[in-house]
Chain A
Amino acid sequence: MTIEILMPALSPTMEEGTLAKWVVKEGDSVSSGDVIAEIETDKATMEFEAADEGTIGKILIEEGAEGVKVNTPIAILLEEGEDASAADAAPAAAPEEKAEPQEDASSEIEHEKAPAAAKPAADTPAPTPDVPEGTSFKSQTVREALRDAMAEEMRRSENVFLMGEEVAEYQGAYKISQGLLDEFGAKRVIDTPITEHGFTGLAVGAAFGGLNPIVEFMTFNFAMQAIDQIINSAAKTLYMSGGQMGCPIVFRGPNGAAARVGAQHSQDYAAWYSSIPGLKVVQPYSAADAKGLLKTAIRDPNPVIFLENEILYGKTFDVPEIDDFTIPFGKAKIWREGTDVTIVSWGIGMTYALEAADALTEMDISAEVIDLRTLRPIDYATVINSVKKTNRCVTVEEGFPVASMSNHLAAHIMAEAFDYLDAPVLSCTGKDVPMPYAANLEKHALTTTQEVIDAVRAVTYK
């Protein structure tokens, strides 16, 4: 009985990878633990070891192949006594559909509703002009955009430095800081011990002392260990000092749920930080916004919380090719215009919002989709103007429902546009439960595209 060696998932969010190199060739015998190939993920190149004993009967995927989906058979292993003919008899590489990522919310719609518009909404070009007409764009991941933003700002000012766990020699736990150590050296790209409370306070002191630190949290879940320094020291000192002593600092890193990492690594802190006067809070969705807003954050004279998302790191968007591209805080982006309902979201919530808007088009419901981009300050005017036009609003986020940003937005819309509303503002949020591990439970613990569709249908009475 031959054994199929499958393309491995080498990180919680890996969906595909490059088979960089075969270390073995057909006919080689291997034992469990032998390195057989090098696999390049979006984060790193990793050695892939054999799990079983046997002889490499057939290599199915040649080295150098890019975009190999997780779980695709990449080689056939012959067990003792088998010969190469057994490998030939083995089934060819499975169709790529097999590797459809489970966390992809679009798969859910396909099962339940099967909307015709399957085109990923993320590729839709931006209608709101952040850039002059005629600007050329390049395709870039959120990960690359964040790296470029930091590199550009570090070139611009000697006082900008990056500090955090594994940001330097390891090139970033999620490879956001890839290449920065090489360019800027160990003085400005600093690996810290695992000591969030300590290095956060130290960075705040460095900001008081005239520097512009970028603090990377491996995840914002770990920043809870440091939250006293963020709130009590960074956010409040300007006020407590009567305007004398500011704290120009950026706290950034992945926030919210990734995939299958359980309750302690999956919380969205947008509402926590957004409730603090003295902080600015950014939660970008696209790569262009990640770049333009991070550059603005690094130049901002205040403490800025920059909430990224691990699932979005590998997503590709068009990024304008402009020298020194920045986006001001407090300016929402209208991703698509519509007339029947306003969907307000930000960060990864935009994935559901845009997918739902596509599906709703098929139902003759025209949704206007607004990406807030920054949560403090909030561009209330864009939201209110839209609601006055559509008379209905649905908010979408992955955070917990109680005391959420959605609650805040609903209250504000009620106060400012009550007479324009034809239905209550509905919120699609993460569920009021700690994040479960099981794949099926996790999917339901977050909000879903279907919930957004259902909410829109409820407020439009369709």
Chain B
Amino acid sequence: MATRKAAAKRPNASREELLAYYRDMLLIRRFEEKAGQLYGMGLIGGFCHLYIGQEAVVVGLEAAAKEGDSRVTSYRDHGHMLACGMDPKGVMAELTGREGGYSRGKGGSMHMFSEEKKFYGGHGIVAAQVPIGAGLAFANKYKGEDTVSFAYFGDGAANQGQVYETYNMAALWDLPVIFVIENNQYAMGTSVQRSTHSPSYWERGAAFGIEGREVDGMDVLAVKEAGETAVAHCRAGKGPYILEVKTYRYRGHSMSDPAKYRTREEVQKMREERDPIEGIKAMLLTGNHASEDELKDVDKEIKAIINESAKFAQESPEPALEELWSDIYADELPQEAAV
């Protein structure tokens, strides 16, 4: 493990920071593993898209964000919610469709929100979150706030038309939005090579005059540094920025994906050579920032949090039947409208 690339570079993060990234990434990894397990037990239904392998992306970018910044993403959203500080219990209970979930069981894996953490979903329609993210930036700017918006989307969404409609407006109006392309190389089962003739997605911003760059998404420190560049650009009033984060998902697109479109060896090689959590662990150990025992304590702490969230998600009751009819409108509306 000490031979990994990440270990050899960028020591300019404090021990506390490194430990925090390790902990936050591990929280996502263990959460997703548990979600996969609960899915297998029939406790989670429908679609469930796991984030395993991509943890460094959200943890690195959240490290570059500040209070008041907003974020919005696709249906592969559990990692984003945990990284911005949402409660694992509420997220897991939403996955099991229970009253204690963030949407009281009415949203599910793909539809969770937190006004408090400025997490605006969780969207099930590929790329629909991109203009919404620009709209959040529009609101920030309109209100004269010094905040930015992170609009996360995948390499699959990057070929949707509304992304380019949004680029055009964001550049035209200098919106403080960071377009984060999480390029995990597969749009469901279709590889980047099979989806586009110009696979360098961030370069497409040039057509709109939007600056951007590519970054190694398996290296949390590299992501954080790139995120800081992007955030500084937006906060300085220079308009939008595109970050293409090269990452990899270890699991299938969703739980029902047999993953026949790539080899087991390809996945295995990424896990062994590029894993973001193992990378930072090696950095902590080789730099004598932390001992094996200290890391084991972190592992234990995380395990306890995850078990507690799984327990909560199973014990929380199903929503009351009245929930079927609530939250359709923000005010009272005669329900005979539903006849």
Contacts and interface: CB of A to CB of B under 8 A. Distances in A.
15 contacts: A195-B169, A197-B165, A198-B168, A202-B131, A202-B169, A205-B133, A206-B135, A209-B136, A238-B330, A239-B328, A240-B106, A243-B104, A244-B113, A244-B114, A380-B339
B327 A206 contact: no
B125 A232 contact: yes
A377 B335 CA distance: 9
A280 B168 CA distance: 31
B334 A209 contact: no
Interface in B23-67: none
A208 B135 contact: yes
B132 A204 contact: yes
Interface residues of A, number: 48
A67 to B, nearest CB: 42
A85 interface: no
Given A210-B143, A242-B327, A232 B124 contact: yes
B102 interface: yes
Contact of A243 (B70, B72, B327): B327
Given A210-B139, A237-B113, A242 B107 contact: yes
Closest 6 pairs (CB-CB, A-B) = A205-B135, A198-B165, A201-B131, A209-B139, A205-B132, A301-B330
Interface string B75-117: 0000000000000000000000000011111110001111100
B113 A203 contact: no
B289 to A, nearest CB: 39
B326 A241 contact: no
A380 B139 contact: no
Given A241-B111, A378-B337, A193 B330 contact: no
A208 B136 contact: yes
Nearest to A236: B111
Given A244-B114, A278-B328, A195 B135 contact: no
Given A198-B166, A232-B123, 9 more contacts: A197-B162, A199-B169, A208-B120, A232-B128, A240-B106, A243-B104, A301-B331, A330-B333, A377-B336
Contacts of B122: 240
Nearest to A209: B139
Contact of B169 (A193, A209, A245): A193
Contacts of A202: 131-132, 134-135, 138, 166, 169
B131 A412 contact: no
Contact of B142 (A211, A228, A277, A302): A211
A248 B330 contact: yes
B142 A187 contact: yes
Contacts, number: 167
Contacts of B165: 193, 195, 197-199
Contacts of A373: none
A329 B105 CA distance: 30
A412 B339 contact: yes
B162 A201 contact: yes
A288 B251 CA distance: 59
Nearest to A374: B337
B74 interface: no
A205 B135 CA distance: 4
A243 B326 contact: yes
Interface in A277-294: 277-278, 280
A211 B138 CA distance: 9
A300 interface: yes
A243 B330 CA distance: 7
Contacts of A330: 333-334, 337
A107 interface: no
Contacts of B104: 242-243
B102 A203 contact: no
B73 interface: no
Interface in B117-162: 120-125, 128, 130-140, 142-143, 161-162
Contacts of A415: 339
A233 interface: yes
Given A193-B169, A197-B165, A412-B339, A206 B142 contact: yes
Given A205-B138, A302-B331, A245 B168 contact: no
Interface in A179-207: 187, 192-193, 195, 197-207
A229 interface: yes
